[in-house]
Amino acid sequence: MKPSKNNYTPLIILVLLAALVGMSWLYVGERSRDHSRSEQQKSSSGQQVFHWKLVTTWPKNFPGLGTAPEKFANIVNAMSQGRLLIKVYGAGELVPAMGVFDAVSAGSAQAGHGAAYYWKGKLASSIFFTAVPFGMTAQEMNGWLYHGGGIELWREAYAPFNIIPMAGGNTGVQMAGWFNKEINSIEDVKGLKMRIPGSGGEVWDRLGGSAVTLPGGELYTSLQTGVIDATEWVAPSNDMAFGFHEVAKYYYYPGWHEPGSTLELIINKDAFEALPKDLQTIVEAAARYANADMLDEYTARNNTALKELVGKHKVQLRKLPDDVLRELHRVSDAYLLELSKTDELTGRVYQSWKQFMEDAKEYHHISEQAYINARDL
């Protein structure tokens, strides 16, 4: 007997239901895989993002000194792929210039950029981590810090303040400064009012001069009005930007007081240790980049700036007399030895710094110095 069409109906319905169930499971499975992929993307892009504030002692984007922390922040942002975002604040935008150390120590800012010798009132040893009169060049400072035990001493000195220091730039040898009075002998130093901070100012005072501390923004007017007779700042590129050639007659060299000034990046210890290891490594690598890049930039820009100052603006370039340099050196040595007796840590820093410099000098007499002398023959 042939089955009727009606006898096939239940079978067809069962087949259709089975197909529908199968398609449903396929749909659910695909949705599950899509959901899993979505979760993986969310997990990958949803890693913790850290936001840091970096305060500086410099005007916002000031060439060299002020652009170094910006470059550091940009490198960190890029290398971390946005996981560590650093916003840079110029002096006075978030904290005063001289409030950077305290802000980072307290954690109100996670990082800072400045110069260690600004904190001499807190730590006598701090000056050795920037520059001291007749001290080390940039090349020698980097050697001491990275391979001569300097950075370990620096971090020991800052540890009580909950701060991790890193080298964050170097100006190279600076200029002696801008003067409205000639310096022909040590007698010309006596009574001369000069803006010169740190250990250089201490030495200037001991030779009978009058060291004055003024912020960079007041230097032009102070020279112009005779409030000061002279000022040091940095080097040709920065000095020309400040317009000192318009208000001072003589530009003296060499920069006996700052022969290789290391700038610092300081990091709040708690903030640094809260980072994953890879981000910590990125911060340290970016600091090394900023340290090298600043010296490269000054080396390039000072050449053209000096040519313009002398050729276009007719600046009178002068060398400090040898007898003046010898006396500055003698007084500097005595001052640093005296300073080394301030406390046990400063004594150890001084001994490490002094030994490295003497060894470097001995080698550089037959390498760097000998080559430069030979090149000038």
**Residue 86 pLDDT > 70, yes or no?**
yes
Tens-digit pLDDT profile for residues 201-245: 999 999 999 999 887 778 999 999 999 999 999 999 999 999 999
Write the CATH number of the domain with boundaries 50-171+260-299: 3.40.190.170
Mean pLDDT of 31-35: 36
Q: With contact defined as beta carbons under 8 Å apart, do 163 and 104 qualify?
A: yes
**Residue 196 pLDDT > 50, yes or no?**
yes
**Residue 348 pLDDT > 60, yes or no?**
yes
Residue 212, classed as helix, strand or coil, is strand
Residue 55, classed as helix, strand or coil, is strand
**pLDDT value, residue 45:** 54
- pTM, two decimals, is 0.85
Token pair of 53 as six digits = 């504030």
H or E element, residue 279 = helix 277-311
- Strands 250-253 and 177-179 turn out to be antiparallel
Round the CA-based radius of gyration of the chain to a whole number and report it: 31
H or E element, residue 163 = strand 163-170
Q: Give Cα separations from 299 to 147, 174, 302, 367 (angstroms).
A: 23, 11, 6, 20
**Residue 26 pLDDT > 70, yes or no?**
no
129 against 1, higher pLDDT: 129
**Residue 22 pLDDT > 60, yes or no?**
no
